[in-house]
Amino acid sequence: MDGKESCIVRHFSYYYELSEHDKSLLLALEQSPMAVETGTTLWEEGDEAKEFCTFKKGWAYSYRFLENGSRQLIELYLPGDIIGLREFAFSQRLAGVKMVEDGEVCFFPHQHLLDLFRRSFVLTSILFAIASRQQVLITERLVNLARRNARQKLAHFLLEISQRLSQTQTGSLSDSFHLPLSQELFADLLGLSPVHVSRTFSALHEAGLVHRERHHVTLHDLQALKREADFDERYLIDNMRPLFSGLPRISDKAS
C-alpha cells in the first residue's frame, strides 16, 4: 500500500511531516490486514492485553457494560487510528471494542511498537501526542455527557467527528460525511435515549444546521453549529511542528 493511500500515514503526517523512513515504519503496522464484519468483537473487557491494532477501513467503538446491564460507549475509532494505546501498561483490556461496520484491521504485538520507539524519534513523539489527545477526547466526552444539553451534545459530537475525519482523509474540514451509527449507538455515546437522539436531530434540522439521511450527515452552517455547541477545536487541531523545528532528522539516518 502506498503511503499516499494510508490512513495511518495521513493521521501521523497531520502532526509532522514524515520522512520516507518514518512512513515505511508506519506502513509495516498495516501489513497482513484482516477483514472483519459489522458487529465483530475485537476484544472484550478483561481479555489479555498483548497487542495493538490499526484500522485501515471501517469504524469501531469501545464500550463498558454496567452492573445493571446498560452500556456506555467510550470512544469511536476511525480509519488511521491505533487502538489499545491506553492499555500498554496493563495486562488486561480495560474496555471492549466492537466493529460498527465492515472493515480491515491489522493486529501487531507490543514488541513492534517498542521497535518503532527505538528506530524513530519523530514517530515516538507523535505516538505520545496521539495518546495525549485520546486522553483529552475522553475528558471532552465527560464534559459532553455531564454538562451539555442534548442539542449541544449532538452538535459538539458531529463537529468533533468532522474534524477527526479531515485529519485522516484528503481535504479540509468536511461538512458532509459518512456516519454509520444507529440511534442506539448515538444514545449510548451521548447519554440520551434513542427517541431523544431522533428528536434532537430533527431540532437541528429545523434550525437549518444539520441534515441526516440514513448514514450520511451534512452540516449546513459550521459556524452556527460551533456557536450552538460552544465548540473549542483546540484539542483537535494542534500539531507538533513547532516542537520539532530545528531538530535533526534522527529517523532519516536510522537503518
**Predicted pLDDT at 254:** 44
Query: Cell numbers at residue 129, please?
Result: 501526542
**Predicted pLDDT at 240:** 60
CA angle centred on 151, ends 150 and 157, rounded to 5°:
90
Count of all residues that appear for the chain in the document: 255
Distances, alpha carbon 119 to alpha carbons 44, 96, 125, 249, in Å: 32, 31, 12, 12
3-class DSSP assignment, residue 59: coil
How far apart CA 133 and CA 207 sit, in angstroms, is 32
Residue 8 makes CB contacts below 8 A (sequence gap 6+) with: 26, 27, 29, 30, 54, 56, 80, 82
Looking up cell 473549542 gives 232
How far apart CA 169 and CA 5 sit, in angstroms, is 9
Query: Cell numbers at residue 172, please?
Result: 479540509
First to last CA, the chain: 21
Distances, alpha carbon 115 to alpha carbons 15, 85, 130, 230, in Å: 21, 15, 18, 41
Domains annotated on the chain, with CATH: 1-148 (2.60.120.10), 150-229 (1.10.10.10)
**Predicted pLDDT at 132:** 84
Angle, to 10 degrees, between the axis of helix 150-168 and the axis of helix 222-229? 130
**Predicted pLDDT at 250:** 46
Spans of the chain below 50 pLDDT: 1-4, 171-172, 250-255
Q: Using an 8 Å Cβ cutoff, are 212 and 155 in contact?
A: no
Q: Using an 8 Å Cβ cutoff, are 241 and 235 in contact?
A: no
Q: What is the pTM of this model?
A: 0.84
